[in-house]
Amino acid sequence: MQTPLQLEVDSVECCICGSSSATTVGRGEDYEYHTSADTFTAVQCNSCNLIYLNPRPSVKEFEVIYPPTYHAFDFSPKQYGFVYKVRTRLEANRSLSRCKGLGDDARILDVGCGDGFHLNLLKKYGNKKWTLEGIDLDKRAVEAARKSGLNVHLGSVEEMQLPEESFDLVFMIQTIEHVEKPAAILSSIFKLLKKNGKLVIVTDNTDSLDFKIYKDKYWGGYHFPRHWNLFNKKSLSKLAVKSGFEVEDLSTIVSPVNWVYSIHNSLVGRKKSQWLVDRFTLKSPVSLFAFTVLDFVLQKFGRGALLQATLKKT
């Protein structure tokens, strides 16, 4: 078996306040895709609580750390079976609830749309008069999305020449944690939104019980080395205000994924049998269901695994 490459890495500062004063909170490896032999370090900004990867892979390593087997390139019923069906129903309801109040002429943009999973849900279950668009940096994801008939742009939202003040709603669903410059992206989205337009962000919550238990090494939300910036309510609010937004709502929602992958990572790290490791993946309905129940209870206390922010351009 070929030894994974060591990655070219860059040292960075906090993307919110620019401080380099930070405390190490966790170290770990790419337990999921084994794209590198490196050990990665997550640090927490001493000023604004942001947790970020430092050092982190250079942007030149993009296609290495996102291999062809990456789940966002092909989250399909063929690959994920029953789990796909359950997630489709759950995410369809969530997506439609985020679109409440939109008129027939609404324009919706999904930034970091991957293979178009959420756009396809809106296309199938939403208002047929809505104009749906997506944007993603990865050509493999864009190709997959376009195959399903979606209008998806290849590139970054900062560089894409989309018309300003033209969108009513923008989604960033499990995207902001992956990007190089979150503040720049939010500022670009702010320009694209109409007055009173909204941005909905969903991202991992570092103020969750799963983070508290597994943060030293195996927390699933680290997703080493692909999650570069990780937020709690305090840090996400700071980023939103810095980018010009008003925080309309900031709450937590249920997800079993970080729980399942925290256990998965700990099993991989301890070199347990592959049979046992395979019981804790995105293809494992039993473990996903069990931790959905647990996180549902935690969400009632504001400690769900994911943050959901609704930001408004006033």
How far is residue 178's CA from residue 174's CA, in Å, rounded to a whole number?
Answer: 8
**pLDDT surpasses 90 at 154:** yes
Say if CB 163 and CB 191 are below 8 A apart: no
Sign of CA dihedral 305, 265, 216, 14: negative
Q: Is residue 3 part of a domain?
A: no
pLDDT band (50, 70, 90) for residue 71:
confident
pLDDT tens for 253-292 read 999 999 999 999 999 999 999 999 999 999 999 999 999 9
Q: Is residue 1 part of a domain?
A: no
pLDDT tens for 187-206 read 999 999 999 999 999 999 99
Residue found under tokens 């937004």 = 245
What does the pLDDT read at residue 81?
Answer: 78
Say if CB 106 and CB 167 are below 8 A apart: no
**pLDDT surpasses 70 at 113:** yes
Pairing of strands 51-53, 22-28: unpaired
Q: Is residue 4 part of a domain?
A: no
Exposure string for 298-308, b = 16+ CB within 10 A, e = fewer: bbeeebbbbbb
Kindly report which listed range (82-86, 220-224, 303-307) carries the lowest average pLDDT score. Answer: 82-86
How far is residue 185's CA from residue 112's CA, in Å, rounded to a whole number?
Answer: 11
Q: What is the largest CA-CA distance in the chain?
A: 55
Give CA separation, 206 vs 6, 43, 51, 231, 252, in Å: 27, 12, 8, 6, 11
Percent of the chain scoring above 90 in pLDDT: 89
pLDDT band (50, 70, 90) for residue 5:
low
pLDDT band (50, 70, 90) for residue 1:
very low
Exposure string for 184-216, b = 16+ CB within 10 A, e = fewer: ebbbbbbbbbeeebbbbbbbbbbbbbbbeebbe
Task: Give, as one character, the DSSP assignment of residue 296.
Answer: H
Boundaries of domain holding 192: 9-312
What's the mean per-residue pLDDT of the chain? 94
Q: pTM score, two decimals?
A: 0.94
What does the pLDDT read at residue 84?
Answer: 77
CATH number assigned to the domain comprising residue 83: 3.40.50.150
Q: Is residue 300 part of a domain?
A: yes
Classify burial at 159, counting beta carbons within 10 Å of its beta carbon; exposed 0-12, middle 13-18, buried 19 or more.
exposed
Alpha-helical regions (H) of 201-243: 209-214, 233-242
pLDDT band (50, 70, 90) for residue 4:
low
Percent of the chain scoring above 70 in pLDDT: 98
Q: How many domains does the chain have?
A: 1
- What's the average model confidence in pLDDT over 117-135? 97
How far is residue 109's CA from residue 118's CA, in Å, rounded to a whole number?
Answer: 11
